[in-house]
Structure 1
Amino acid sequence: MTKSIIVFLTVLALSSSVYAQSGKKVFETYCWGCHHQTAVAFGPPFAEIASKRNAEEIQAMIADPAAVSKIFGYKRNAMPPFKLTPEELKAITAYILSYKPSNKESK
């Protein structure tokens, strides 16, 4: 039983790492023009987003920024919607969340 748990946790950690690595490619393709990982650019840095939002909120914002902006109470939203695959959406979300302040020391 303990061995199964260790194997499961190892696979989970590796898959999160793979998502974060492919998330960097999604970032470089779609996001870098407005967002930076830790510095303020046109859009908020990933570290700020990760400290305020969970995975579902991040994915919703990327998929439909105009609708989610209204829900969050933003007065304006300049982010265009992106037609990402489910895998790309998971990958960019993992990459953004990898900048959560508690994970920052490992960067």
Structure 2
Amino acid sequence: MSIFYRTTLLLVFSLSLSNASNISGEKVFTDYCWGCHHQTSVAFGPSFEEIANKRTIGEIQGHIIAPKSTYKQLGHKRSVMPSFKDKLSQDELTAITKFIMSYKSKKDK
């Protein structure tokens, strides 16, 4: 493997990591979630604090991507949450999930 090829791969990998870390969960929250969810109080939907204390990371991400497929298994009678499957990149999904989980009660961590 040439030095140019290795350097190029390293640069591409570094750039992808830096772009992923530049995505703010709070920005994703403001752009997509704030109308229905608040961090610590109930709005139209449950607070992030409640979600973080009741759900796993996988359950949260699954519900963000396909709420119509997961609402019953999560104990809801209905779901009006839209799917964000085609709206969020994987990096944005990871960022919002980390942001939600940051509200998990200390005793539950």
- For the aligned pair, the TM-score class normalised by the smaller chain equals 0.7 to 0.9
Q: Deviations over 1:19-67 (max 9, x none)?
A: 8x71000000000000000011000000000000011110000000000
Q: Name which structure has the greater RCO, CA cutoff 8 Å, separation 6+.
A: 1
TM-score normalised to structure 1 length = 0.74
Task: Compare CA radii of gyration and give the structure with the larger one.
Answer: 2
TM-score scaled by structure 2? Answer: 0.73
Q: Report the identity percentage.
A: 55
Provide the residue aligned with 2:98 in structure 1.
94
In the other structure, the counterpart of 1:34 is 36
Match of 1:76 in 2: 78
Structure 1: 4+ residue segments shifted above 6 A: none
Q: Specify whether residues 73 and 52 from structure 1 end up closer, same or farther in structure 2 by C-alpha distance, changes over 3 A only.
A: closer
Q: What CA RMSD, in Å, does the superposition of the two structures yield over aligned residues?
A: 1.9
| Aligned counterparts of 1:51 and 1:100: Cα–Cα separation in 2 | 5
Structure 1: segments with no counterpart, 5+ residues: 1-17
Q: Structure 2 unaligned runs (5+)? A: 1-20
What is the distance in 2 between the residues matched to 1:73 and 1:38? 20
**Size of the alignment, in residue pairs?**
86
